[in-house]
């Protein structure tokens, strides 16, 4: 079974008009440790990356209902694909939703062209040796890899401050501008304050508490500085799905083929009725 890492992060909804001001603040208050919340001697670097996230679920939306996630992620820097990854996110007993389990798998890059699983929307990304592990995770929600189909696809412009100390990676401050990859291109902005999952997972209980306190202080500093921030632990998959579900244009787009077929059928029926009427009159 693949090892689960514990992801501990605050997710904060950000007004679109405050993106640039918050990004500047993240680079000064934390990038230069002006807030003095980070450990003495902490080092930072910034990056701007683009992520394409394809979320998979079954027809019953089993993962959505449990606030779980199954995504194929592609990471781009300067328009170049630098990494692909399969990530499964699993909720924990944490009532606040701050902590979740995360499983990561490297995708299949050299599938045999004669392998019919290459035609499956999700299985084509999975290495055969990982299939049983992935099914064990998905089985918690009464589903499996073979039942997965594409649910939604997101594109994110991600501005991030990486924080390291003398032991390595510590945490990240991430400002995500998220939009639907397809029409109607609905969007939102989210700020994530995330402890490094390897560091947090491997830490003893006292160190985990210390890391959590540091993250809580960082969150409070942001809320003290910006009045319009709202903590919202809803996973991106659920958040975008719910937003799209409220868009009438999204319903039209998703059912466009049926609407076209219905229109063609109606047009054909009218033509037949007129033709029969003409024959009857003659």
Per-residue pLDDT band for 199 (boundaries 50, 70, 90) equals very high
Burial of residue 12 (CB within 10 Å: 0-12, 13-18, 19+) is buried
149 and 269 share one domain: no
Percent of the chain whose pLDDT exceeds 70 = 88
214 and 97 share one domain: yes
- Could you give the CA distance from residue 102 to residue 86 in angstroms, rounded to a whole number? 10
- CATH number of residue 33's parent domain: 2.40.320.10
Check residue 82 and give its pLDDT: 95
Residues in the chain: 282
CA 27 to each of CA 21, 78, 193: distance values in angstroms, whole numbers, following the listed order: 10, 21, 13
217 and 107 share one domain: yes
- Could you give the CA distance from residue 56 to residue 69 in angstroms, rounded to a whole number? 8
In the block, which residue shows the tokens 């089985």? Answer: 139
Give residue-wise pLDDT tens across range 66-91. Answer: 999 999 999 999 989 999 999 999 99
In the block, which residue shows the tokens 């679920």? Answer: 57
The least confident of 29-38, 172-181, 202-211 is 29-38
Q: Can you give the pTM of this predicted structure? A: 0.85
Q: 252 is in which domain, residue-wise?
A: 248-282
In the block, which residue shows the tokens 């599938």? Answer: 111
228 and 281 share one domain: no
Paired strand residues for 186 = none
SS3 state of residue 185: coil
Cis omega (within 30 of 0) on the bond before 133? no
Burial of residue 282 (CB within 10 Å: 0-12, 13-18, 19+) is exposed
139 and 79 share one domain: yes
146 and 266 share one domain: no
Whether 10 contacts 215, CB under 8 Å: yes
CA 250 to each of CA 52, 57, 64, 120: distance values in angstroms, whole numbers, following the listed order: 20, 18, 18, 25
98 and 187 share one domain: yes
Is the confidence at residue 267, as pLDDT, over 60?
A: yes
152 and 178 share one domain: yes
Check residue 123 and give its pLDDT: 96
108 and 165 share one domain: yes
98 and 214 share one domain: yes
In the block, which residue shows the tokens 């990356």? Answer: 49
Whether 180 contacts 186, CB under 8 Å: yes
Give residue-wise pLDDT tens across range 210-250. Answer: 999 999 999 999 999 999 999 999 999 999 999 998 876 55
173 and 282 share one domain: no
Whether 101 contacts 3, CB under 8 Å: no
222 and 252 share one domain: no
* Count of domains observed in the chain: 2
In the block, which residue shows the tokens 């994110």? Answer: 156
């Amino acid at each position: 079974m693949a090892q689960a890492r514990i992801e501990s992060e605050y997710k904060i909804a950000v007004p679109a008009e405050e993106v640039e001001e918050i990004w500047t603040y993240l680079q000064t208050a934390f990038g230069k440790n002006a807030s003095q919340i980070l450990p003495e001697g902490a080092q930072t670097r910034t990056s701007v990356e683009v992520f394409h996230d394809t979320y998979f679920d079954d027809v019953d939306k089993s993962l959505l209902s449990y606030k779980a996630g199954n995504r194929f992620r592609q990471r781009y820097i300067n328009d170049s694909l630098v990494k692909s990854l399969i990530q499964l996110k699993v909720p924990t007993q944490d009532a606040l939703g701050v902590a979740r389990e995360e499983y990561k798998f490297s995708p299949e890059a050299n599938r045999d062209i004669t392998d019919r699983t290459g035609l499956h929307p999700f299985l084509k990304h999975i290495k055969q040796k990982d299939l049983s592990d992935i099914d064990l995770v998905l089985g918690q929600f009464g589903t499996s890899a073979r039942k997965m189909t594409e649910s939604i696809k997101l594109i994110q412009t991600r501005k991030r401050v990486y924080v390291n100390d003398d032991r390595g990676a510590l945490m990240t401050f991430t400002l995500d501008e998220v939009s639907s990859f397809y029409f109607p291109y609905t969007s939102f902005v989210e700020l994530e304050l995330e402890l490094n999952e390897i560091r947090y997972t491997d830490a003893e209980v006292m160190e985990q508490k210390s890391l959590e306190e540091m993250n809580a202080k960082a969150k409070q500093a942001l809320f003290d500085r910006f009045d319009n921030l709202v903590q919202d632990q809803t996973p991106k998959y659920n958040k975008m799905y719910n937003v799209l579900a409220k868009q009438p244009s999204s319903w039209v787009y998703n059912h466009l083929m049926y609407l076209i077929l219905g229109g063609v059928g109606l047009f054909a029926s009218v033509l037949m009725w007129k033709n029969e009427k003409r024959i009857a009159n003659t």
